[in-house]
Each structure stands twice: as C-alpha cells, then as structure tokens.
C-alpha cells in the first residue's frame, strides 16, 4: 500500500509541475531572442550595453590547476568581457551560438564565429573551444529532413576545422517526445562524423535538468557523446506560479523534480557515465513580484526578471543589501526579499556560499565538472573565479569539519536508484570521524557502507541499514569512504552527519645510512616515516675536495655554502657577485637582471628540489630576486628555455615564469608578505614528469603552476636579482629517490674525491622528504668514508730479525721484519704475512693477521736443510683494501756443520740456558768482521757487539745486561753477508 501511495503522489506531483511550468522557455532562448532583437553586432556596442571595462588581469593564488572541467558558455553579446576571464580556470569555452534554420540546417546566424576574438584568445591560451548550436522550434521538420541534418553536420565540421576548435555543443530545447528516435539518430550520426573528421573532437549536448518524456535517450547516447552538459537552472522559471531557487541543490519542498541532486541521480541511473556529466550552474538568478515575503510565496504573473551576479552586486547598497539576504535551508539557496512600496519581491540567485555546496556535489557524485551560464555575468567581480580556484583545482582544501547529507538534502527523502561512492579526505587530516545525527533507511534494501581509507577496497568499518544509527564512526587513516545504495522502490528520510578530523601537525622523519667505509659504488639506504604517509623523497650526494663540500652537477646535484672564495662552479655573467661573511652577495642595485649560473644537469623524470636561503635588501624600488632552473642557455638574457621563480619584496608577490626562447611569460602572481632584510628559507619542488612546480617559503606553499608541456631537460641553474642588494646561502639541488639509491665513486662520478685522511670523510649524504599533507622533514645526513685505492706496499721485507739474511741454521723457526706501509686515505689497519717455498707461497704458514707489528718470528716450523724459504706480506687499509704482495728475497737453511764453507767453524754458544753470562767459541779461516746481536722474540735488541777478528780460534764473553725481560731470545751472528740464529733460553733470577 505504501509503495502504491508513493507512486500516486509522484504521478500527481509530476502532473502538477508539468501543468504549472509548461511550455517552458529556457534562459538560453529568452536571452538569445532578447539580444537578437537589439540588432547589435559589434563588441563595442555590447561593451557599452554591458558596462564592460578592462580589469587588471587576475592570476591564481597559488598557480592552481583545474582538477575538473569548467565549461563556460560565452554568449556573443558579451563583447570583450572575455579579456577579464581567468583563463587558467576555464577548461572549455562554448561560443553561443550557431542558430539553426530548421528548414535547411544552415545557419540563421553564427554571430561572428569565424572572426570572434574570444575564440582566438581561448585557443592561444590553451582553452578548448566549442560552438554551441541552438534550435528551439521546428524540431519535427528538421529531424525528419535527412538533407537538412547532413547540411548541419557538414557545416559544423567545416566551421570547427576552420577555427582549429575542439567541438560542438548541441542545444536543442523543447524537442517533442515523438522525435526521440530521430533525435537520437541525429546525435549519433553527428558524433560519428565529427569524431572521424576531427580526431579528438568533442560533441556534447545541453541536456535539460528534467528530461521530460525521456526525449533524450541517455543510455543510447552515452556511448557516443563526450559530455552531457546538464542545464542545472530554471527549475523555477519566468512562468513559475511560485517563487523558488532556479538551481536548488536539494528540494525546497520535497518535489521530485526541482533540484540538482535529483537531476544528477536521474542521469546517472539512466546510463550516463560519471566522467561525461557536466553540471552547468547559473551566474544569474530570477526575481519575482510575490504575494508575500514568506517562502514559498505565489508569484504575480508577468513580473519575472533575470538578475545577473553582477547586477545584484552592483546594487548591494540598495534592495540587494546584506540586510535583505536570506538563506533557504532545504535547498541550500540564498535569496533576497524586499518590498519596494508596491509589492513584495523575492530574488533567488546563487552566490559563493551556495555554489560551494554545488561544487562539493561535483566531487560527491564524481562527475566531470561544472558549466557556467554565462561567462561574464560576474564581470568586475572575482569571487566566483576565486571559488573555482578554491574548490575545483589542486589547491582545493577540504575543511576539517562540515555537514554531510544524503542526496535528499536536509529536509527530504533520498531518491530511488542511488548508487554512489564518495571519499572524504580533509586537508592534513590524520584521522576523521563521522557523527550521525539522524539515520533512517529502508531496512535490508537501502544501505550505507563506511570504509577506513580512500576506496571500497579499504577496511570496512561497518554496513548500516534500517533505523539503527552508526553513531560516531572514526577512520584512523585520515580518509573515509562512503558507499550508498538505494533500490528502486521505498525511500526514507535518510541521514545527516557532521564530520570532524584531527589535523596532521607531525612532520615526517627521514634518515640515511651509507656504511663506514666505501671502496666502490655503493647503495645508500633510507628510512622514511610519517604518521599519515610519506610523499616526495629526495636525496643529495656531496663530496669534499679538501677545502669545501661540493656536489657533481653532472649528476643533477648542487651544493654551495659559500664558506670560502667564489667557487669555479659558478659563472658570474652580470652583476657584482662576491662572498660576504660566508654568504653569496650581489651588490649592484642598478642591475635589473643579474646572472650567476652553474652547471646542473636536469632531466624530465622524477622530482627535483631546489633549496636556498635568501635575503633581499637595498635602497631602490621594485626589489626582487629568485632562481632559474631547467635552463638550457644560462648565459641568455632570460636563460633560454627555463622556469623561473621571482620573489618581489616591494610588491609582496611571488611569481612563477616560464621562459621560452629567452622570452619570459608570467604564470602566477601570488600575494605573500616578503619583508626586506629578512632571511627566508626558499624551496621549489618540481615534478618534472607532469610539469608541476610548487614554491615554498619557510615550508609554506605559496605558489604553484603546472606546465602541461614540461621542458625536456636543463643544464644549469641561475640566481637572478633586480634592483636590490641580495644575499644567498646554502644553495642546494636534490633529486628524487626510492628507499635505496646507488652512489657512484670515481674522479668523474658522484663522489669525486677520497678521504684526505682517515679522520676526514669525503662523502656526505643528505635526505629530506614531505608527507602526503605537505609537511617537510628536517634534513638528515650522514658522513661516509671513501677510499678506492689500495695501500702502498712496504718498501722492504727482510728475512731475519734485522738486516736481511740469506742463511739460517734453525730448522723450526724463522724471522722477518719490514718497514711500515702507507695509505693516506684510510691508514693501515693491519698486515697479513705468509711463509712458503716461493714468493707469495703460503703452503707453510697461510696468510695470517699480525696486527700492526712490523716483524714476526713464527716457530714450530717443519723446515728442511738446503731449502729456500720466503716471507710474503700484504697491508690492509682502513677501508679493507689490500695492497700488492711484497716478499723477501728468501733464505736457505744450513746446519752448523756446514758453516765452514762460509769461513766460520767450531761454533759453540754456552751455557744454554744461560743466566748471567754467555760465551761464544768459534774458529775463523781468515780475518772477519762479526756482529753478535742478542734479541728478544719481538725483535727488540738486548745487546750488540761488533769486532774484527783475526783467523784462528776465539773464545769471547758477550756483555749481557743485568736485567733481561725476555725468557726466550736469539743470538744473531752476522759475518761476510751471512747470518745464523741460535735460539736461547734465559733463566730469570
């Protein structure tokens, strides 16, 4: 019974509205007929009529770029008001109009399309251009005439092609339902021919807010049309019997057809794709004489007048004052109410407050964008341009608290066949909660799902239906996604909720590690963290040349802290540049374009960060300073092709420029207070892949712009000043990275220098990041020691304990000593020695670490008589590099019985063990110079005697110190370039 009652009410309401409002004459038709009747043709005539004057060009506040389509109708009667359009906030201009002769398809008039200067300007500035095609009667004849239809299609293709334009917008209004099939066939034919003839062209329709009798076959047309531009105005029109909002977001009285929300639901459920729906909104309102001041009130027939945004604001001191302004809470619409002494007047007209809600609906329903009827109706006022910038660009911010309704709005039921998903991401939020103040859905059929994240793939927080309220639901991620579905039957009052968020004030953190010593290309590891999520990641590789820290510009890095004289990296092309107290100073105030540049190779991949500190001073006016980057001819007046950011202290402006072939073009002109003689931290973040430039002062975003055709590369950066005395410091260029980055070593690589000494690193790595909310981390860095050269080998390696020996009489022990090796970068960490039967052989003693000792005396060796043995040695530096192998010249074992061949026989050393004295008995064949050396195992000399002995027998007493710390020692006997070693044991007292 309830459903039958709903159907009856809906049918009755439809009949009532149709009876009241038909036949409708749209604002498009009314104004076209009015201005045609004036007989004016020249821009100057329309400028005089409209009161147009040239405004100072307005630039976006922060170089903001559109995220949504802004499709503005430009009526021919707007004259030169287009000069005041903020073109970067207008994606599409639709020239109004080509008036169709229904008998032939030719134009009754094109109103100067072929020569219109607004078309030239739009195309020059990158705005797409469409020709609007109007037909308000004679539909049956035209749509039934194949020749007339083809004539129109051919004409439109030729006219779009001849202007280099982008497409057409078909505004056929009042088409009878009997022509539905013919209309559909015509539009499909037009789309097919236009798309084939002009690849990339767009065909759209001016779709009625209410598709009476379903004349437009939305489902059939969706596969052909590029856009449905819904004329979201005139719900209450000139012939309405009741005053009301022409573009109410929700219903003023729960009527089915009098609001934008219902129109969007209809088109989406009828088969239109979200990304093809453009919601056109009015820059005008409608004023009626009414029978009362209350809302709703009946209108007095024949008293309706349209009122533009400009008209209302021009009369803000009169009837359209703030005192007469009211707010209709159900439709979220403003209106003025006043009595002129004769009758009551009500004027419903959207303003910044109401349009804000409608722009939010664009995101809520995820549609392509907005349209405007009509451009110039706000001329001399910039608030509506500012609103587009604030709500439909990448500068858009989502408040931390606001109210959300179902699609029925504050006072009415939601609709049948709703199915939408919406993500709430308040700016800089670390968490977001949704508190429901009311909740009433058809249980089991209509449902609301809430997710903790940016999509329905995120964790589900809950599914809700019926009358049990979700209460307060919190998303810890800072993003909340809602999905709502209603079936095609029963509807209820729906829900209302207020969201709140916690704002992210926690900056991200970063750290980098590169190891202690590196000898070849290595991997730097980065650790990045944030409470919400990290975004842009940067790093910088510095090297120390023995005087200052620099960076290799050939790898896209730069660093100068101006600690000494002006580095040769810089080329001072114009101006007076010098180092002043550790800062770079340009002192020529008369120079309007000083230039000092340096090599930095930059590519159009990844992200780049340019960072420096700057102080602008001086006594002249128009003081300014900044940086060029991505320069390809830094010696040029404007650095060839480049990007350029200027900071103006006298104008308090921040400007982004692009220079092309040495000519610069301003892209932003943003207000920001820049005090003289004050240090600022300046950062430019450039996403070279998409061409997005963001400028930060003291880590606050102050300007941004996106180049849709980014420069391919650059080979320099350039500091620039004008009419000022400027100081610069800490000029740095960073590159983007991942979690790890390879760092190359070598004379022409990223790190070009080795440590000058073991205690002074020659490599430094820096890391800095942003989080998803645009907060910056501090710079984190680490030193890395670099040594890629092997240590020098020892100059000599002697067999024996002192001077090199050639022979030994010991079959179980050997001795070696050497001089210290050297390594300037990392020092000698330890030595490795080996002992074997050939140079480098380690068959007897494998390579063994001997620390920093300069001698060894390994014992317990299986040595053989009459066999040559060799010591080999390697030095290892602090970086772990190993020197070339050095080796001794070898020695041979000769037992004592064979010493006679060397002129010494009957050798005896006693007593052994000894305590106080030591005697040596020997016989010489000839006079011989002999050295007796008593040494400890560590090579330390205990005593030494040197004499010339004659031939014959000798018995000598060696001088032994009273105190000998060594228990084990050796007596070295050297003669005639021979040496023998005798192991001894000393008995301590």
Q: How far apart are CA 577 and CA 897, in angstroms?
A: 85
Taking alpha carbons only, the member of 969, 929, 934 closest to residue 946 is: 929
Which among 251, 400, 440, 458 is positioned nearest to 448, based on CA atoms? 440
Closest C-alpha to 380, from 61, 77, 54:
54
The β-bridge partners of 109 are: 99
What pLDDT, on the 0 to 100 scale, is given for residue 896? 52
586 to 622, 644, 720, 959: CA distances (angstroms): 16, 18, 9, 79
Question: In Å, what is the CA distance from 695 to each residue of 202, 325, 611?
Answer: 35, 40, 10
Secondary structure of residue 574 in the 3-state scheme: strand
State the pTM of this model. 0.68
Identify the pLDDT of residue 806. 87
As given in the structure block, the two tokens for residue 318 are 């009169």
Q: And the tokens for 216?
A: 């437009």
DSSP 107: E
Look at residues 480, 479, 442, 437 and name the one whose alpha carbon lies nearest to residue 464: 442
Which mean pLDDT values do the consecutive 10-residue runs of the chain (989 residues) have?
Answer: 31 32 78 96 93 69 82 97 95 98 98 97 96 97 98 98 98 96 98 98 97 93 98 94 96 90 94 97 98 96 95 96 96 97 97 96 96 97 94 91 93 91 90 96 96 94 96 93 93 95 92 97 98 94 96 98 94 97 97 98 96 97 97 97 97 95 92 94 97 95 91 98 98 98 98 98 98 94 98 95 85 93 97 97 97 94 90 97 96 69 84 88 92 80 90 91 79 82 78
CB 918 within 8 A of CB 957: yes
| Distance from the Cα of residue 868 to its chain's centroid | 70
* pLDDT for the residue 89: 95
Residue 955, SS3 per DSSP: strand
Are 894 and 979 a contacting pair, CB within 8 Å?
no
Task: Report yes or no: 983 and 936 within 8 Å, Cβ to Cβ.
Answer: no
Residue 307, classed as helix, strand or coil, is: strand
Peptide bond into 296 cis (omega under 30): yes
User: CA-CA distance, 209 to 371, in Å (whole number)?
Assistant: 13
Q: What is the pLDDT of residue 984?
A: 84
What are the pLDDT digits (tens) for 752-777? 999 999 999 999 999 999 998 889 99
The number of CA neighbours under 13 Å toward the Cβ of 503 is 9
The edge-to-edge listing of strands for the beta sheet with 480-485 is 419-424, 480-485, 447-451, 460-464
Question: What's residue 932's pLDDT?
Answer: 92
Tokens of 46: 């329309």
């Amino acid at each position: 019974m309830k459903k039958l009652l709903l159907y009856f009410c809906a049918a009755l309401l439809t009949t009532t509205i149709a009876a009241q409002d038909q036949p409708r004459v749209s604002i498009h038709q009314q104004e076209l007929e009015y201005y045609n009747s004036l007989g004016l043709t020249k821009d100057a005539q329309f400028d005089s009529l409209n009161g147009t004057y040239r405004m100072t060009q307005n630039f976006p506040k922060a170089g903001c770029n559109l995220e949504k389509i802004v499709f503005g109708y430009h009526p021919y009667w707007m004259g030169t008001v287009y000069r005041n359009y903020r073109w970067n906030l207008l994606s599409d201009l639709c020239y109004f109009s080509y008036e169709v002769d229904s008998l032939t398809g030719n134009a009754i008039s094109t109103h100067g399309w072929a020569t219109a200067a607004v078309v030239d300007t739009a195309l020059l500035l990158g705005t797409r251009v469409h020709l609007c095609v109007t037909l308000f009667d004679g539909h049956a004849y035209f749509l039934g005439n194949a020749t007339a239809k083809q004539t129109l299609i051919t004409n439109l293709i030729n006219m779009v092609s001849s202007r280099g334009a982008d497409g057409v917008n078909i505004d056929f209004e009042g088409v009878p339902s009997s022509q539905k099939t013919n209309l559909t066939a015509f539009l499909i034919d037009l789309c097919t021919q236009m798309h084939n003839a002009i690849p990339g062209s767009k065909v759209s329709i001016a779709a009625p807010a209410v598709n009476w009798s379903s004349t437009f076959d939305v489902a059939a047309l969706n596969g052909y049309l590029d856009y449905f531009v819904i004329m979201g105005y005139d719900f209450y029109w000139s012939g309405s019997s009741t005053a009301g909002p022409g573009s109410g977001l929700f219903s003023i009285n729960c009527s089915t057809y009098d609001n934008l929300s219902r129109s969007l639901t209809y088109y989406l459920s009828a088969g239109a794709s979200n990304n093809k729906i453009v919601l056109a909104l009015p820059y005008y309102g409608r004023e009626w004489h009414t029978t009362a001041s209350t809302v709703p009130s009946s209108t007095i027939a024949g008293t309706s007048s349209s009122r533009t945004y400009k008209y209302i604001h021009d009369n803000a001191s009169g009837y359209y004052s703030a005192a007469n302004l009211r707010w209709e809470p159900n439709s979220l619409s403003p209106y003025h109410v006043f009595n002129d002494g004769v009758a009551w007047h009500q004027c419903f007209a959207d303003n910044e407050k109401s349009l804000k809600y409608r722009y939010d609906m664009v995101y809520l329903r995820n549609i392509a964008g907005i349209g405007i009827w009509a451009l110039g109706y706000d001329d001399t006022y910039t608030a509506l341009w500012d609103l587009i910038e604030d709500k439909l660009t990448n500068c858009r911010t989502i408040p931390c608290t606001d109210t959300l309704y179902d699609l029925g709005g504050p006072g009415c039921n939601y609709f049948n066949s709703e199915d939408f998903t919406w993500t709430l991401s308040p700016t800089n939020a670390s968490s977001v909660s949704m508190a429901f103040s009311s909740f009433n859905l058809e249980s089991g059929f209509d449902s609301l799902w809430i997710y903790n994240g940016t999509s329905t793939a995120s964790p589900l927080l809950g599914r809700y239906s019926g009358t049990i309220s979700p209460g307060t639901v919190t998303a810890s991620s800072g993003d909340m996604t809602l999905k709502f579905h209603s079936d095609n039957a029963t509807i209820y009052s729906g829900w209302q909720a207020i969201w709140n968020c916690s704002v992210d004030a926690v900056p991200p953190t970063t750290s980098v590690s590169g190891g202690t010593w590196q000898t070849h290309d290595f991997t730097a590891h980065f650790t990045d963290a944030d409470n919400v999520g990290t975004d842009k990641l940067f790093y910088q590789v510095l090297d120390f040349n023995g005087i200052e820290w620099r960076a290799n510009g050939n790898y896209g890095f730069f660093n100068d802290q101006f600690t000494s004289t002006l580095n040769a990296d810089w080329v001072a092309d114009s101006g007076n540049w010098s180092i002043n107290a550790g800062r770079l100073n340009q002192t020529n105030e008369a120079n309007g374009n000083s230039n000092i540049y340096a090599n930095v190779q930059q590519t159009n991949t990844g992200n780049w960060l340019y960072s420096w500190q700057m102080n602008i001073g001086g006594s002249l006016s128009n003081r300014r300073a900044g940086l060029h980057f991505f320069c390809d001819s830094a010696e040029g007046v404007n650095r060839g092709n480049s990007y350029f950011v200027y900071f103006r202290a006298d104008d308090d402006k921040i400007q982004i420029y692009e220079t092309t072939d040495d000519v610069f073009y301003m892209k932003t002109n943003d207000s920001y207070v820049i005090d003289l003689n004050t240090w600022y931290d300046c950062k430019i973040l450039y996403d070279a892949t998409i061409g997005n430039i963001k400028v930060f002062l003291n880590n606050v975003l102050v300007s941004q712009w996106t180049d849709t055709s980014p420069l391919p590369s650059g080979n320099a950066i350039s500091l620039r000043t004008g009419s000022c005395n400027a100081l610069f410091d800490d000029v740095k260029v960073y590159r983007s990275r991942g979690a790890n980055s390879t760092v190359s070593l070598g004379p022409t690589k990223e790190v070009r220098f080795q440590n000058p000494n073991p205690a002074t690193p020659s490599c430094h790595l820096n890391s800095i990041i942003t989080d998803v909310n645009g907060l910056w981390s501090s710079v984190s860095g680490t030193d890395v020691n670099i040594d890629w050269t092997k240590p020098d080998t020892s100059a000599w390696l002697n067999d024996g304990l002192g001077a090199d020996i050639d022979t030994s009489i010991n079959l179980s022990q050997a001795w070696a000593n050497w001089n210290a090796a050297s390594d300037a970068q990392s020092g000698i960490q330890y030595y490795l020695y080996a002992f074997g039967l050939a140079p480098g052989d380690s068959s007897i003693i494998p390579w063994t670490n001997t620390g920093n000792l300069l001698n060894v005396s390994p014992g317990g060796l299986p040595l053989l008589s009459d066999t040559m043995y060799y010591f080999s040695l390697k030095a290892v530096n602090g970086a772990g590099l190993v020197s070339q192998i050095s080796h001794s010249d070898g020695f041979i074992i000769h037992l004592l019985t064979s010493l006679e061949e060397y002129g010494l026989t009957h050798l005896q050393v006693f007593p052994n063990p000894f305590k106080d004295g030591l005697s040596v008995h020997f016989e010489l064949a000839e006079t011989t110079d002999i050295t007796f050396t008593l040494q400890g195992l560590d090579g330390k000399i205990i005593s030494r005697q040197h004499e010339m002995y004659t031939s014959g027998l000798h018995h000598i007493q060696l001088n032994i110190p009273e105190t000998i710390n060594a228990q084990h020692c050796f007596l070295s006997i050297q003669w005639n370039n021979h040496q023998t070693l005798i192991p001894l044991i000393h008995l301590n007292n």
